[in-house]
Amino acid sequence: MLVSKLARQLMAPVAAIALALGGAFPTAWADNDEIVLGGSIPMTGPFAFAGLQFDRGLRDYVEWINRQGGIEGRTLRYVGEDTGYQQDQSVAVFRRITSRENVNFYFGDSTAFQQTINRELDRRDILMTGASFASELNDPERYPLQFLLGPDYSEQVGILLSYIAEESPGARVAFIHSDTEFGRDPIAPGRSKAEELGLTVAATIVTPPGAADISSAALELRRARPDYAIFHGYVLAPIPDFIQRARQMGMNTRFMGTYYTMDQGIINEMGEAADGFMGVMPYRYYYDETGPAPIMDAIRELHGDYQTTTYTQGWLTGVLITEIARETLRAGKPFTGSNLRETLDSLSDIDTGGIFGQPVNFRGNSIPLGRIYRADVSQGQMVPVSDWIELE
Amino acid sequence: MDWLFFFEITLAGLGTGGLYALTAIAFVLIYKATRVINLAIGEMLMVGAYLFFGAAVGWALPWWLAIILALLGGGALGMVLERGVIRPLLGENPISVFMVTIGLGSILIGMVELIWTANPRSLPNFFPTDPIFIGEAFLAPKTFWSFVVAAVVIAVFLLLFRFWRGGVALRATASDQGAAYSMGINVPAVYSLAWGLAGVIAAGAGILLGSIGGISSDMGLFGLTVLVVVIVGGLDSVLGALLAGLLIGWMESMAGVYLGGEYEHLVTFILLMVVLLFRPWGLFGTREIERL
């Protein structure tokens, strides 16, 4: 009893000091010479293949830019935590990081999270980007404090369709998508865009999420006999299976994919089926050395072996927030989310150091620019088959 | 009506149904012998597919050796789960055991992600790739061969149940545990055997499924449709598992083409509801109901 009373007496002042310090801590720690990028990063779970690369890319970029003297003399600091690709975890990580740090920019890991946290962003005045290319996020009215790291999914499909219309006017196109929010995203706009470009939509084939066997869907595809088939809403399965079956059925359809299907590692997993597979990619591949690209050179200098496009996406995040932060500081504006957004809107012809093949401009919240690449299995690489295509 | 197309879709559906039936047999085997509703069957199937991947790609073994190792590994996994987790729960409330199998599923997913990461992978192709034509109807070689393998395996197991001593012991234990004990049958060994065999079958189904659509740590979701198959067929009926597997495979295939892919699972679960409403013990199951 006596001991506990003594302990309480001793603890009281300690607790008081701790409380006082704790209260003072965030502001004292919010170093004015620092710019903080927080991140809910899916380093485990089904999206870990990309999450681990975002994390590495962001870390490497931050180290690199700080070696160059930071952003207008300020240090960039990255604080990322694992979410397991669970929305509640992503929110918990966001709360934890934003309550501990004076966060200026944030990297989100999924469409669901980026939608959920939107109000909170407004409240905390933080500018966010992330892994999602959802068309819904490309709306500056509803998502004023978010931007995408390339074309949204509808624009990606739009770029593919523009390429098709150019290559084979009037071609028959099929859409194959998973029955998920991700899968459905670009389908309706894609169909209208196809009609607008004078293409025929031969079929829209839906596969249930996690479908093991797509035998009947493949038969449906054969019946539609499209010249091109665009996959969306998948990472790997069931794309190789569709392609193999189509070949076995003697079809000459050319298959295409969107950003997350287009990484080299995934293409490698497809084996022979990958040959001739095409898709839209907003960023230069690691081994694409056409044209000057100082940022890609820096990546190649840092790593002698292939780096994924999701790793490059981490660097692009860094490049864009550096540009936004730099211009805001130069204009002498306070470092709030709304001011950062204002700067983003004022930027034009942004130089991404060659990650994109030409200077980029935001339209709404996205950058509708990409290039068509084709898998060449004999070279083991994705080779460009079009110039950079920018949607109006 | 394009009858050739209809016939092709039917064949494709039966192909998928063969895999449902095979996995459902693993489920029924465990339920019959041990009265455990094993919700981790989908994850056991996934582990089998990853064992094959590890042996065939990781260790670069020939595919036939990799299959043998994966089947043995699947069997060993089944026995370890039974001995380590299920047997200590003997006599406990069925709901506890049921919940434990859900947990087991999560643990197996975690283990696979730790070893092989969560990245989706493709399995090396070991089936012939020449297209199969039945009359004029096209059947994808993978679907055809996996159906053939599933059918052969099912036939072998049916013969084993009928004629092999272990199979007879299994059936005896399933129909009356007390009587089996008194006749000198080593019931705990039968439990191990049931889980071991189910592990082998699940691993086999995993390899077949993975060779069709690739593998990923969430492929255990397949087990969810298998659960519907066994409930529709009757939890303790091998014949029910076979027929319900084929029926559901065919229905999903039809729904996918004529209604759209978004209706595949809807149709399956509507069938489940109808069966539960009018014949809760399933088409061929024993007429007793255990409420959980």
Q: Is B158 helix (H, G, I), strand (E, B) or coil?
A: helix
Instruction: Average the pLDDT over B119-143 and give the result.
Output: 85
- Are A141 and A158 in the same domain? no
Cβ within 8 Å, pair B129-A207: no
Asked, for residue A29, whether it belongs to a domain, the answer is: no
Quick: pLDDT tens for A294-319: 999 999 999 999 999 999 999 999 99
pLDDT of residue A9: 54
Asked, for residue A1, whether it belongs to a domain, the answer is: no
- Are A172 and A247 in the same domain? yes
- Are A375 and A251 in the same domain? yes
Q: Is B167 on the interface with A (CB under 8 A)?
A: no
Transcribe B226-248 into DSSP letters. HHHHHHHH-TT-HHHHHHHHHHH
Structure tokens at A88: 């509640």
pLDDT of residue B131: 82
- Distance of alpha carbon A46 from alpha carbon A51, whole angstroms: 9
What total of structural domains would you count in chain A? 2
Residue in A163, A161, A155 with CA at minimum distance from that of residue A173: A161
Asked, for residue A27, whether it belongs to a domain, the answer is: no
- Are A257 and A167 in the same domain? yes
- Are A255 and A164 in the same domain? yes
Within 8 A of B253 by CB-CB distance, chain A residues are 215-216
Tell me the shortest Cα–Cα distance from A236 to chain B, in angstroms.
Answer: 7
Residue numbers in chain A where pLDDT is lower than 70: 1-32, 211-212, 266
Write the single-letter amino acid at B199: G
Enclosing domain of residue A308: 34-149+291-361
pLDDT of residue B38: 94
In this complex, how many residue pairs, one in chain A and one in chain B, have their CB atoms less than 8 Å apart?
119
CATH number for A198: 3.40.50.2300
Angle CA A27–A28–A30, to nearest 5: 60
Cβ within 8 Å, pair B5-A223: yes
Asked, for residue A60, whether it belongs to a domain, the answer is: yes
Return phi, psi of residue A212, to 5°: -85, -40
- Are A194 and A123 in the same domain? no
Asked, for residue A79, whether it belongs to a domain, the answer is: yes
Handedness of CA B266, B272, B276, B277 (dihedral sign): positive
Do B32 and B194 meet the contact criterion of CB atoms below 8 Å apart? yes
- Give the ipTM of the model, two decimals please: 0.83
- Are A377 and A231 in the same domain? yes
Within 8 A of B222 by CB-CB distance, chain A residues are 210, 212
pLDDT of residue A266: 66
- Are A144 and A165 in the same domain? no
Asked, for residue A236, whether it belongs to a domain, the answer is: yes
Mutate to test the interface with B, among A215, A239, A267 (most CBs of B within 10 A): A215
Asked, for residue A13, whether it belongs to a domain, the answer is: no
Write the single-letter amino acid at A133: F
Write the single-letter amino acid at B139: L
Do B10 and B258 meet the contact criterion of CB atoms below 8 Å apart? no
- Are A385 and A349 in the same domain? no
- Are A350 and A386 in the same domain? no
Instruction: Average the pLDDT over B20-44 and give the result.
Output: 92
Asked, for residue A348, whether it belongs to a domain, the answer is: yes
Do A144 and A123 meet the contact criterion of CB atoms below 8 Å apart? no
- Are A194 and A129 in the same domain? no
| DSSP 8-class letter at B118 | S
* pLDDT range class, residue B19, cuts 50, 70, 90: very high
- Are A213 and A272 in the same domain? yes
pLDDT of residue B181: 86
- Cβ neighbours around B286 below 10 Å, total: 13
Q: Scan residues 252-281 of A and list those with Cβ closer than 8 Å to B.
A: 265, 269-271
Quick: pLDDT tens for B198-233: 999 999 999 999 988 889 888 888 899 999 999 999
Within 8 A of A271 by CB-CB distance, chain B residues are 122
pTM of the model: 0.86
Helix axes A239-248, B141-163, angle to 10 degrees: 100
